[in-house]
Amino acid sequence: WFYYAPNTFKVLSLNRMRREADPRLEKLSTQLQEDPCVVGDWHFLLGPSSLFFSNVEFFVRVLGPFFTTRFLLLPAAAAAAAAALAAGGVLPGGAEPLAAAHAAAAASLVNLVLAELLTNAHAFLVVATNHCGDDLYRFEQHAAPRSPSFYMRQVTSSVNFATGDGRGGHGHAADCVDFLHGWLNYQ
């Protein structure tokens, strides 16, 4: 939600502007169209992204539905299910429906937040190990997206490392590490 969501929505908005021949597009430099926009940056609140979409549109169309379904509707569904089970006497210990609903909503919310944090940490670690090594090529100038130079840089600035099993082979431990990396360690 911090980097990929606003940039993906920016590209979507740019494509919509091109399809509709929006006159604002002529005023935007190529550099401005290719610059990233990030949540939390002053440019996101006041600058370039406001040329492509409003903050309200971004939060209503992108972040709002995710937040609502993940952190409001799912705990509410867990609470409703727990209350129904408690009212039907299915839950052990004769729990009251309201107490069961509260416990289920709280537990599901905590689990969802922890899962979100773990997933984001895992994704960051997988991506970072493929693009942040000291021995990777660094580039001084910007490359236009989808250009030959862009693709060449993607290949030369990504790592390709075999994990191995520590004994010169490629056993189950290495397969597990490869799986956790999503096989991105073989680019």
At 94, the pLDDT band (50, 70, 90 cuts) reads confident
* Residue 165, SS3 per DSSP: coil
Residue 115: both structure tokens together: 């899962």
The residue-averaged pLDDT of 10-15 equals: 89
CA distances from 75 to 110, 122, 180 (A): 9, 24, 28
In sequence order, what E strands does the chain have? none
Report pLDDT digits (tens) over 120-171: 888 888 777 777 767 777 788 878 878 898 888 877 777 766 666 555 566 7
Confidence at residue 10, expressed as pLDDT on a 0 to 100 scale: 87
| CA–CA gap between residue 24 and residue 1 (Å, rounded) | 26
Give the pLDDT confidence score for residue 59 in this predicted structure.
Answer: 86
Q: What is the reported pLDDT for 104?
A: 95
Q: Three-class SS of residue 186?
A: strand
- The predicted pLDDT at position 160 comes to 67
State residue 173's pLDDT score.
75
Residue 100 half-sphere exposure, CB side, CA atoms within 13 Å? 20
> How many other β-carbons are positioned within 10 Å of the β-carbon of residue 101?
23
Which segment, 48-52, 97-101, 137-141, 177-181, is predicted with the most confidence on average?
A: 97-101
pLDDT in tens, 39-87: 766 455 555 556 788 778 888 999 899 999 999 999 999 999 999 999 8
pLDDT band at 28 (very low <50, low <70, confident <90, very high): confident
Nearest to 3 by CA among 33, 44, 46, 32: 44
Q: Where are the beta strands (DSSP E) in 35-172?
A: none
Residue 12, pLDDT above cutoff 60 = yes
With beta carbons less than 8 A apart as the criterion, state whether 187 and 155 touch: yes
